[in-house]
Amino acid sequence: MRPREIFPNIFKLDIDDRVTLATRNLTPGLTVYGEELIIVEGFEYRSWNPYRSKLAAAILKGLTKSPFSDSDKVLYLGVASGTTCSHISDIVGLNGHIWGVDFAPRSMRDMITKVASHRGNVSPILGDARNPSSYGQIVPEVDLIYADVAQPNQAIIAVNNAKFFLKSGGLLVIAIKSRSVDVSLSPNRVYTSQIGILEEGGFNILEFLRLDPYERDHAMVIAKYTT
């Protein structure tokens, strides 16, 4: 078994006739959500479940280029308990950093306990992504915003945070949850409307991926900030 690096710090492992997506574990011996730990050639890898992470789902659905690089500074909106954040932590490494925002105290407690307390490149922020000025003194300019918020105005939230924190030429990765935006509209109409808001807010759309069957009625958009 030899790891295949498909993107920087993102691997596929061939294990017992199955292919497993994985990241190299920044905290050897520790898991976050019960994921499998696999040691290959002296390195420990964490399996990455696409049913638990929309970013993993997007990769397996055919993402052509990873938006993340080693040393990236990332603002994560809707970090929840930190499942995907932990894998991004592996990807950006100790020279990168993630500021993870969530308004739910219980999720934030879990994120601190399972992720931030063991990873020096993760800073938890109990806050509301709809009000970026409330954490404006904590978060610097970032290379990338990852947005996964179950709100009707998901695209507007992303645009408003970009105005505060995203560098010109920086990237946005946004998971559009169509049923959270408007359950009365078809997912395709929701995706079109949210993409329109992003474009009006200064983004060029680079990639669009539907996440079925991993996440029903969800899509992932990768966009570049041009202002």
pLDDT per residue over 10-58, tens digit each? 999 987 778 899 999 999 999 999 999 999 989 999 999 999 999 999 9
Q: Which domains does the chain have, with CATH numbers?
A: 4-49 (3.30.200.20), 55-225 (3.40.50.150)
At position 84, the amino acid (one-letter code) is: T
pLDDT over threshold 90, residue 132: yes
More confident residue, 1 or 222: 222
Question: Is the peptide bond between 105 and the residue preceding it cis, with omega within 30 degrees of 0?
Answer: no
Q: What is the pLDDT of residue 18?
A: 82
Burial 212-226 (b: 16+ CB within 10 A, else e): eebbebbbbbbbbbe
pLDDT of residue 1: 66
pTM: 0.95
pLDDT band at 210 (very low <50, low <70, confident <90, very high): very high
Do the Cβ atoms of 101 and 135 come closer than 8 Å? yes
